[in-house]
Amino acid sequence: RAAAACAVAFALASGSGVPSVELPGGVMMPMLAFGSYPGSFKQGCTVAESVRQWLALGGRHIDTANNYGTQPDVGEAMKAAGVPRSEIFLTTKIPGPIGKQQTIDMIMNVSLPQLGVDYLDLVLIHKPCIEKDLFPNKCGAAEHAERVDTWEGVLELKRLGKIRAAGVSNFDADQLATLVAASGVTPAVNQVEWHLGYHN
């Protein structure tokens, strides 16, 4: 019953008709992704079963994050689904500014092993502020050095071939501009939450 409920919830959203957008470097990203935030799952749906169904129904973009705690579930679902890795667009996120080396270590030693893959399609810095009570971006210009250092870690992962595209999440226009000015590299994506129930 729970499996059927999950399938019904995703059936209309999946399929080959999802448009893609080209990111820098020619990386094609499907514009509709399946999010694996655990608080989104109702009616007995599990992350692993829901992601497996998303893939079975034709969905190909999966969004997860280190602090969701669902990377192992996503990895399990990808393995069970049997869809070639090259057909899946996999996005994950590191927490807010954590520094270059910790960024590299987290992707290499946590995200990649948990997901069971040897590369990621897109890695995002989840938020620009260190403190949770400043979410999503209320720290303003503060913590700029930490953001730049973390961004350098993401860019190093791209140079190493471990990620195909680098981006951010929840950054405001000024935080983006100063990041670009410091690094000379524009994030491929700035993912933000915005819908009828939440105007970010």
- Residue of 37, 68, 119, 198 with catalytic role: 68
Structure tokens at 21: 């957008």
How many Å apart are CA 45 and CA 102, to the nearest integer?
A: 33
How many Å apart are CA 162 and CA 110, to the nearest integer?
A: 13
- Give the angle 47-36-84 at the CA atoms, nearest 5°: 80
Structure tokens at 76: 């399990």
Q: Catalytic annotation on 119?
A: no
CA dihedral 93, 96, 99, 105 (to 10 degrees): -30
How many Å apart are CA 32 and CA 89, to the nearest integer?
A: 10
Q: Taking a C-beta distance cutoff of 8 angstroms, is the pair 178, 140 a contact? A: no
Residue of 75, 126, 131, 83 whose CA lies nearest to 103: 126
How many Å apart are CA 162 and CA 25, to the nearest integer?
A: 14
**Terminal C-alpha separation, the chain:** 35
Q: Which residues are catalytic?
A: 68
